[in-house]
């Protein structure tokens, strides 16, 4: 895993780059958040391919628990991927509601993530 640094409008954004899964458990998500938070990143970009598929099964609570921590620490998060494949009503509603706020965003490209987080 490596961190690519982006700076927009004085906002320091960490893009997590990895070939494999970065978050498989709640602890993985909290470790990543803690490590980047203490390096003074207030915005993070994660790619869908680096999240366990369980993240998108809302019944297990993984996404809710991790994303709540990001909100508590006021670290903005953009998740980049093709989310159209998630057709369940719960996950679609979750993505829609998340995108209405400013804390968590589900976007289709890195440029969208940078635009959202650079505001």
Total domains in the chain come to 1
* Percent of the chain whose predicted confidence (pLDDT) is above 70: 100
Tens digits of residue pLDDT in 56-81: 999 999 999 999 999 999 999 999 99
How far apart are the C-alpha atoms of 103 and 25, rounded to whole Å?
A: 21
CATH number of the domain where residue 49 is located = 3.30.750
Cβ of 39: how many Cβ atoms within 10 Å?
Answer: 11
Pull the structure tokens for residue 49.
């391919």
Contacts of residue 46, defined as CB under 8 A and 6 or more positions apart, other chains included, come to: 16, 22, 23, 77, 78, 79, 80
Q: Are the CB atoms for 23 and 63 separated by under 8 Å?
A: no
In this prediction, residues 30-41 reach a mean pLDDT of: 95
Pull the structure tokens for residue 57.
């099964």
Residue 4 has pLDDT above 90, yes or no: yes
Mean pLDDT of the chain: 95
State residue 9's pLDDT score: 85
| Residue 92 belongs to domain spanning | 2-117
């Amino acid at each position: 895993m490596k961190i690519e640094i982006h700076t927009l409008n004085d906002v320091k954004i960490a893009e997590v780059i990895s070939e494999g899964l970065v978050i498989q458990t709640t602890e993985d998500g909290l470790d990543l958040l803690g490590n980047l938070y203490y390096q003074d990143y207030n915005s993070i970009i994660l790619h869908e391919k680096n999240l366990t598929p369980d993240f998108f099964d809302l019944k297990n609570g993984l996404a809710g628990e991790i994303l709540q921590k990001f909100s508590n620490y006021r670290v903005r998060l953009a998740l980049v991927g093709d989310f159209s494949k998630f057709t369940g009503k719960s996950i679609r509603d979750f993505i829609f509601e998340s995108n209405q706020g400013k804390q968590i965003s589900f976007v289709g490209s890195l440029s969208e993530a940078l635009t959202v987080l650079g505001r």
